[in-house]
Amino acid sequence: MKGPILFLGIGGSGMSSLAHMALDLNLPVLGYDQKKTDTTAYLEQRGALIQNEISKIPLDGIEMVVYSSAINDKHKQVFDEIREKQISLKHRSEFMHLLVSNQRSISVAGSHGKTSTTTMVSQILSEQGMDPTIMIGGDTSLLEKRGGKIGKGSFAVYESDESDGSFLKHKASIRLLTNIDNDHLDYYKTRDRLEDAFFEYMAFGVEGDLVLFANDPGIRDVLTHKTKEIFFHPNFHLYLCLEKKELEKEWFRKLQSKLGNQLVSIVYEIKDGVLEFQFPEPKKYFLQLPYPGVHYLTNGLVALTGAYVTGILPEISVEILSRYIGVKRRQETLGTWNEVTIMDDYGHHPTEIAMVICSLTNQLKSTGKLVVVFQPHRYTRTQLLLEDLAKSLACADNLFLLPIYSAGETPIPGISHQSFLPFLNSENTELLSGEIESDLTSIKHKLNKGDILLCLGAGNVRDWGLSLLKTNE
């Protein structure tokens, strides 16, 4: 490739990561995105030329156009012109494989925890001097404001996004899977089709290594119901992270009888915020992270097992993860206002929401209240998961609901933030207008010294927290 490469939707987390990787290779980068953000500004700082109107970008001379599923039929005319000029057109997953084709790939998939787990694997390999290529769908200090970089080592670590099925194009030799949950059903339509996709990702019939967090009910369902008649490649190896009680279950025994020494069990238990685990050898290891929450510990176990497959000993990974650097918008502390801790989290699915609220509630204990400002993400997700979303928010001491963040979707009649009210406690729930200044007046009345204010959602809800902090100035 010589470029220029045009990225449509360059401001998105995955697309911006790929653009940074192209810049690392000294390829000329052009981009289109309707919004000017810190992400696009940094890309421009590095040399990318970005326009907020597609019509302003001349297609003559462009070698390749990279697009994501977020670029929809509204831009059909542009796609027609690209094809007419016979410019190579690549989905972002295809372009990524072009970038990592000469390296051994480690992919990380799952309904939740992909970004954190990918960051953990990347930190372990980086601190071991392995200089991996990295593609992460989030902002981490590991990459200094970027989601991707080209490394000179023999491994590439990347996040595999299941939202549009494109993760099935990823042909990694080491595959990690954190969990399977009811998300992106607007694309898959049914739970069975979602499970079929994850089963295909597991690739039992292909040479390689697969690490599964087998204590997840969704993964166990797939292992129980979809592995009965399948062929296991003789050079396939399965690593299962699970609690000891699962070793006696029928699903595990059947799988073990089929795979024999191709299956490795990593047995764990969690006590007082510490994950104790054991590979087949008798030595025990103890994993503790700087972030609270069981989900961080189990993601860490999956990550260090993936690192183990590359040859890194568990004791080394445990020491590195004790200094885990984290990801922006994952239990991120934004600052303090009148001795109230302001936090931001990307959680937007019921399982993620319940986990972060549970971990922060445990952290607070009796020292203060957890006040949550929740911004529902997408009309389709809200419609599909409304009651489950409401249940996941129920443990907040006080709850403020913002209008739905559309993420470009067309509103669905009858679906709004008001739709949550029948499923919530009216005494501690309040609707917000979406106007930051007036909303903050309501929020401030509920905050006291020692509380945590959690801005929760995948949209722009953190702006409410940042605006509150500015009132300190």
Both ends of the chain: CA-CA distance in Å?
A: 49
The verdict on 64 and 130 lying in the same domain is no
Which residue, of 77, 94, 111, is where some domain finishes?
94
Q: Based on the domain organization, do 257 and 157 belong to the same domain?
A: yes
- CA–CA distance, 113 with 43 (Å, rounded to integer): 26
Tell me the HSE value of 179 on the side-chain side, using a 13 A CA sphere. 19
CATH number at residue 230: 3.40.1190.10
Q: Quick one: 263 and 127 in the same domain?
A: yes
Note whether residue 420 is domain-resident.
yes
Using the CB atoms, write b or e for 125-139: b if 16+ within 10 Å. bbbbebebbbbbbbb
Q: Strand pairing of 274-278 and 263-271?
A: antiparallel
Domain co-membership, 294 together with 409: no
Residue closest to 367 by CA, chosen among 345, 341, 344: 341
**Encoding tokens for residue 453?**
């204010």
User: For the chain, what is the radius of gyration of the CA atoms?
Assistant: 23
Within a domain: 371: yes
Domain match, 90 and 228 both: no
Q: What's the CATH number where 42 sits?
A: 3.40.50.720
How many domains does one find in the chain?
Answer: 3
Strand partners, 445: none
Residues 34, 116 share a domain: no
Instruction: Report the DSSP pairing between strands 284-287 and 274-278.
Output: antiparallel
State whether 345 and 437 are in the same domain.
yes
Which of 45, 73, 94 marks a domain boundary?
Answer: 94
254 with 358, same domain? no
The pLDDT value given to residue 158: 93
Residue-number span of the structural domain to which 148 is assigned = 103-321
Could you list the pLDDT tens digit for every one of the 473 residues in the chain? 887 999 998 988 788 999 999 999 999 999 988 888 888 999 999 999 998 887 788 888 899 999 887 665 556 777 888 888 889 989 888 898 889 988 999 999 998 888 899 999 999 999 999 999 999 877 777 887 788 999 999 999 998 887 777 777 778 999 999 999 877 777 788 988 999 999 999 988 899 999 999 999 999 999 998 877 788 899 999 999 999 999 999 999 999 999 999 999 999 999 988 999 999 878 999 999 988 778 889 999 999 999 999 999 999 999 999 999 877 777 888 999 989 999 999 888 888 898 889 878 877 877 889 999 999 999 998 998 899 999 999 889 999 999 999 887 889 999 999 999 999 888 889 999 999 999 999 999 999 999 999 999 988 999 999 999 998 75
- Check if the beta carbon of residue 127 is closer than 8 Å to that of residue 322: no
Is position 280 within any domain? Answer: yes
Tell me, rounded to whole angstroms, the distance of Cα 364 from its chain centroid: 25
Of the residues 321, 348, 364, the one at which a domain ends: 321
Q: Verify that 210 and 247 share a domain, yes or no.
A: yes
The values of phi and psi at residue 42, to 5°, are -70, -35
